[in-house]
Homo-oligomer: A and B are copies of this chain.
């Protein structure tokens, strides 16, 4: 079972996978892109799309890096993973770069999405236009509640979770989004996997067990908040420590 990624998780690009064939350019290239770089490429793509809409045709690494919130060396290295599409002395053609990043991220194909768990978050996700417009049409909704089944949410009818395998297989769902309570998440996950779904975005605060061929990413709001809390605490400590030395958080005496 593969551990899921998300937040500041481990970023190990399958270390065990052997490289049998010496050739095979593109897939080798795709394999070689560090996970961290993939996440940033998605950000560059968003920024570039915005610039393109504004009529910008060319941009330097310095400018794009600024707009994406990274330093320019990192940006250039990230782009170098996907090829050499810049012009020295000039910069990058926005449209060309958009095309290449979309290709690498696999956005030239449609990826149908199923959302399971139509509570507050599920509703929000079903109604969130950002998915469909970016090539991720929400093609199926599921919930365990009979009162919801049949009722359309965001224009899509809700099915019962017992139908996950049938419906997902039929509609060729490639990404499953789990927005159920934690207790239900693993069972839902198992069904999605049975339906052939290979990628899962998990909002439930549980560690899902999946086969190695399934990719899981998790978004855990509580964890995000706690990371921020850690930084609040650290700052408070530093500030307090600079004045009243010898005493740490919560009045715990550091040097008795």
Task: Give chain A's interface residues, CB within 8 Å of chain B.
Answer: 3-11, 21, 23-27, 30-31, 33, 35-36, 38-40, 42-43, 45-47, 67-70, 74, 103-109, 111, 113, 119-121, 123-125, 127-128, 130-131, 134-136, 174-175, 198-201, 205, 207, 213, 215, 217, 219-238, 241, 245, 248-250, 252, 254-255
| Interchain CA distance A219-B227 in the complex, whole Å | 13
Q: Given A36-B9, A245-B24, are A217 and B226 neighbors across the interface (CB < 8 Å)?
A: no
Chain B nearest CB, measured from A105 CB (Å) = 5
> How often does this chain occur in the complex, in copies?
2
Residue in B closest to A120 when the chains form the complex, CB atoms: B124
A26, A27, A232, A254 — most chain B CB neighbours (10 Å):
A27
A143 CB to nearest chain B CB (Å) = 15
B127 touches A120 (CB 8 A): yes
Interfacial chain B residues near A113, Cβ < 8 Å:
225
Q: Are A27 and B241 in contact (CB under 8 A)?
A: yes
From residue A167, how far is it (CB to closest CB) to chain B in Å? 19
Chain B residue at minimal CB-CB distance from A201:
B224
Smallest CB-CB A-B distances: 9 pairs: A106-B233, A26-B248, A120-B124, A199-B228, A69-B207, A3-B69, A42-B226, A8-B39, A42-B223
| A219/B219 contact (C-beta < 8 A), A174-B232, A225-B111, A234-B31 known | yes
Across the interface, A9 reaches (CB within 8 A) one of B4, B24, B39, namely B39
Cβ contacts A to B, 23 pairs, < 8 Å: A7-B7, A9-B39, A24-B254, A26-B248, A27-B234, A31-B238, A33-B230, A38-B230, A42-B223, A43-B207, A43-B220, A105-B229, A106-B236, A106-B249, A108-B250, A109-B232, A113-B225, A125-B221, A130-B222, A131-B222, A134-B226, A136-B229, A175-B228
